[in-house]
Structure 1
């Protein structure tokens, strides 16, 4: 572990490689698990504000879930998260013709319907952050459904922190990421 500003960062995001392999996993992270995507407080407001713009990009099942449960829900851990369709996939998930799960929020963003890409927790994955009173932890979340992403990352020699560069900058800023690159360079000597 090392510290950058008010973050405590695991070396695992430097030491491990990762590149999403949607061809292999079919977006399983959006449909597996027992909870929705973690949301920051400000993201709950964004989801409410953009819902009507995103709605045309969603499946009927997702729309019904959101209209029944709301644009976000409080999870068992007391934190905000996206609602799930029948306790399974994220209500914002859509499926490509080949069955690959994709993010309806990101589709709306890509089509210019919104200015917000998706929850930062999804953008950061496989990095997970947790806010504490004095600091934020930045850790690697290893999940067997991402084994093919680890293999592809190793083959392409892409460390996790480089794979999620855009998301880390979105979360912590350019200066923070520049410090991370310096630490990574020293760490891998």
Structure 2
């Protein structure tokens, strides 16, 4: 376990390997599971603000789901997540020409239309963060649909924390990430 500021980082973040392999998994994390992508409370007004700009990137089914259910939903535990289509794929997900699910929000971002890349929970995946009163627990979420990503990461020698450098910096800052790198390197000595 690695302790940095008010975070507790699982050793798996340093020890396990991961590189998304969309050709193999087809973006299954955008469709599998009980709910849409977890959302931070601070992301809710962002979804409201960017929706009209993102809307042209979305599927008819995604737009219909959002217009019926809202731009996000509140679950039975009081947590927020993205709207889903028939309780399956995220309403913001789009299929590309290869049948791979990608993020319509991220596509609008890549095209320079908005300044929000995508929900931080998506950007950080396979890391999941549990927020407690005094600290955040940062854990690696093992899921069978990501087996091709684990295999690719291992073959390339890319640990989870390196693959997710940009979203970790987005979530916790450059100094935090440098401390994480130092702790991991020091542990190897």
The whole-number CA distance in structure 2 between the counterparts of 1:123 and 1:133 is 23
5+ long unaligned stretches in structure 1? none
Q: Secondary structure at the match of 2:176?
A: helix
Match in the other structure for 2:81: 81
1:45-124 counterparts in 2 under 5 A? 45-124=45-124
The alpha-carbon deviation at position 98 of structure 1 amounts to 1.2
Structure 2: unaligned runs, 5 residues or longer = none
Distance across 1 between alignment mates of 2:153 and 2:77: 31
Give, in angstroms, the shift of residue 103 of structure 1: 0.3
| Separation in structure 2 between the aligned mates of residue 2 and residue 164 of structure 1, nearest angstrom | 16
**TM-score with structure 1 setting the length:** 0.98
Task: Name the SS for the 1:85 alignment partner.
Answer: coil
List per-residue Cα deviations over 1:3-61 (Å, max 9, x = no partner): 10000110100000000000100000001111110100110110001000000000010
Normalised TM-score (structure 2) = 0.98
**2:52, 2:149 → 1: CA distance?**
33
Secondary structure of the corresponding residue to residue 46 of structure 1: helix
In 1: Cα distance, 2:146 partner to 2:188 partner:
24
Task: For residue 112 of structure 1, report the CA deviation from its aligned partner.
Answer: 1.2
Which residue in 1 is equivalent to 2:126?
A: 126
Q: Is 1:5 the counterpart of 2:5 in the alignment?
A: yes
Query: How many residue pairs align between the two structures?
Result: 189
Quick check: 1:34 aligned with 2:24? no
SS at match of 1:130: strand
Secondary structure at 2:56 match in 1? helix
